Structure 1
Amino acid sequence: MNRAPLATLVCFVSLLAAGSALGDTVTTQSLIQDTPSTPLARSRTAQAANWGLTEQEWSRFERIQAGPRGFWSPNLDPLTALGIEAESDQARQRYAELQVTLEAKRAERELAYQNAYTAAWTKLFPGLLPIQGMASPASTSSPAAPRPALFVEDQCPACSAEAQRLQSRDVAFDIYLVGSQGEDERVRSWARQAGIDPARVQRRQITLNHDRGHWFSFGAPGPLPMTFQQVNGQWQRLH
């Protein structure tokens, strides 16, 4: 009996079985990747929970930001994006209430830390004006009370006059010295010659900041001084 064809047949059947098993493995792995136990799914669940959202709502937020809204407003938070693009008044109200609750908690924590920071600064550096190291203009603002961001420069009488005007209105605002080159004393010197009230700086009703390129990120739209304020998540020139 010729055993070669039989051996060939056995080998062929074994390969088919192996291929079938491999196919089953790939299918199983594909299914596993879509289950909530994977790191990606867990990450999405955690991110959604941080904002009080469901996974479906988080997925919708990702779709919104992948579309025109992401181009128009690339840095929107999930609640604002979902609220703006809400498909019903009920959904819009839900996102508004979630955001108000979250912002209230954030403001409470930030105020507590601000008080601790002010006390620490007064204790360690009495009489020295604090210079903020903020990552973005007016980062201590809240949607309920946005703070104007005043951009100024050295040797600019109009800048000092505008700072005095805002100070006289008794409003909280943030000053950014363009071209400070990261030198704290340069910012303090500007504040002294502009007549900025040290007590209000200590209480952080007025903050002194290095510009760090923010002015140019706005496109440097004209001569200084220039005042901006956040309106609906967007920076707008006041005058």
Structure 2
Amino acid sequence: MNRALLATVFCLASMIAIGSAHGETAAIHSQIQDTQSIPLERSSTAQAATWGLSKQEWSRFEQIQAGPRGFWSPNLDPLTALGVEAETDQERQRYAELQVTLEAKRAERELAYQNAYTAAWAKLFPGLLPIQGMASVSPASSPVAPRPALFVEDQCQPCIAEALRLQSSDTAFDIYLVGSQGKDEPVRTWARQAGIDPTRVQRRQITLNHDRGHWFSLGAPGPLPATFQQVNGQWQRLD
């Protein structure tokens, strides 16, 4: 067999081997995709069950959020979305009752943890005001009666006046210091200067928070202070 023929045979054998390997890789990739598609389906069913919904109701929720409602209220929970877009009074009532039941259980768990947190803080850091390291604006209370979020800044007498007004009205609210740069001491200093009741902070009736850019993300015009509250899943300015 001459050299040219040998080279041709070797080339064909290499191509066959490469093609076989490619076929095996494609088959394995297909098997992986098929395997991954199973838990995704289960995850959707599990999410529906968490909210007390059927698989069909969860699909309806996804359809709602894919439409105009998803733009108006992008972070709306499934029960509120289904309730707002309900087609009958019976449906609306069903979702309202599901939401009230779920939120009552959530509030019970959060209250139990809040009591444990308060006790732990008082034990480990007596006399030191706790600062909430929150990644996003998220009031601690139930969406049925959301807490106001008060945005303030240093050297701002109107900010102090508004904080004292809310405190005197016995309102539970969350304070966000704009420009704290993630440092706890400026937040504590502001709270002391503003006359914020340490006992109410310990009980989390009032929380002290770093703003972390949330004020700018809300796109609100005008000077501080500014008070916001969640209405139908969206932040609205109150003052």
TM-score w.r.t. the length of structure 2 is 0.83
- Is the contact between residue 138 and residue 174 of structure 1 (CA under 8 Å) also seen in structure 2? no
Point out 4+ residue stretches in structure 1 off by more than 3 angstroms.
Answer: none
Aligned to 2:211: 211
Aligned to 2:20: none
Give CA-to-partner distance per residue, 1:68-127, whole Å, 9 cap, x none.
111111111111111111111111111111011111111110110000000000000000
SS in structure 1 of the partner of residue 208 of structure 2:
strand
Q: CA deviation at 1:136?
A: 2.7
Aligned to 1:119: 119
1:124-139 paired onto structure 2 within 5 Å: 124-139=124-139
SS in structure 1 of the partner of residue 182 of structure 2:
coil
Aligned to 1:197: 197
Q: 1:215, 1:131 → 2: CA distance?
A: 18
SS in structure 2 of the partner of residue 220 of structure 1:
coil
Aligned to 2:26: none
- Is the contact between residue 149 and residue 175 of structure 1 (CA under 8 Å) also seen in structure 2? yes
Match of 1:135, as an amino acid?
A
Q: 2:144, 2:39 → 1: CA distance?
A: 37
SS in structure 1 of the partner of residue 236 of structure 2:
strand
Match of 1:153, as an amino acid?
E
Q: 1:221, 1:97 → 2: CA distance?
A: 38
Give CA-to-partner distance per residue, 1:137-161, whole Å, 9 cap, x none.
2430212332111000001011111
Aligned to 1:224: 224
Aligned to 2:25: none
- Is the contact between residue 147 and residue 173 of structure 1 (CA under 8 Å) also seen in structure 2? yes
Q: 1:236, 1:181 → 2: CA distance?
A: 25
SS in structure 2 of the partner of residue 134 of structure 1:
coil
SS in structure 2 of the partner of residue 38 of structure 1:
helix
- Is the contact between residue 138 and residue 148 of structure 1 (CA under 8 Å) also seen in structure 2? no
- Is the contact between residue 129 and residue 188 of structure 1 (CA under 8 Å) also seen in structure 2? yes
Q: 2:150, 2:196 → 1: CA distance?
A: 13
Q: 2:236, 2:94 → 1: CA distance?
A: 27
Aligned to 2:186: 186
1:1-239 paired onto structure 2 within 5 Å: 38-239=38-239
Q: 1:187, 1:86 → 2: CA distance?
A: 44
TM-score w.r.t. the length of structure 1 is 0.83
Which segments of 5 or more consecutive residues in structure 2 lack a partner in the other structure? 1-29
SS in structure 2 of the partner of residue 196 of structure 1:
coil
Which segments of 5 or more consecutive residues in structure 1 lack a partner in the other structure? 1-28
**CA 82–238 in structure 1, closer or farther in 2 if over 3 Å, else same:** same
Q: 1:218, 1:55 → 2: CA distance?
A: 34
- Is the contact between residue 150 and residue 226 of structure 2 (CA under 8 Å) also seen in structure 1? yes
- Is the contact between residue 152 and residue 177 of structure 1 (CA under 8 Å) also seen in structure 2? yes
Q: 1:96, 1:135 → 2: CA distance?
A: 29
